[in-house]
Copies of this chain bind each other. A is one copy, B any other.
Amino acid sequence: MFVIMVYDIKEKRVAKILKISRKYLTWIQNSVFEGDITEAHFVKLKHELKKAIKKEEDSVVFYTFRTKDYTSREILGIEKGKSETII
């Protein structure tokens, strides 16, 4: 399956969330990850994130697709995923 993940996390927990997410997905932009992932890994990712976020303050949205069948991904402005400016 293909997953697009968008997070909105309080700054103090961002590094932890990035570390978890990078094990499973590819970083695209400051708040976006995407990637092909198995169902089992997706369950693990959600489980790890659930433990790491504070559910009253943070938010993570997952869009899941059977395949990477979106027509296109376009970026306006900086293509952050290509640089290594991330903390």
Q: Which residues of A contact B (CB under 8 A)?
A: 1, 4, 6, 8, 28-32, 46, 49-50, 53-66, 69-80
Partner of A76, one of B32, B46, B65, B75: B46
* 5 A/B residue pairs, CB under 8 Å, sorted by A: A8-B29, A31-B31, A56-B78, A64-B71, A64-B72
Other 8 A-B pairs with CB < 8 A, given A62-B74, A64-B74:
A6-B32, A8-B31, A8-B80, A54-B77, A56-B77, A62-B75, A64-B71, A64-B72
Indicate how many identical chains form the complex. 2
**Nearest neighbor of A56 in chain B, beta-carbon distance:** B78
**Nearest neighbor of A42 in chain B, beta-carbon distance:** B74
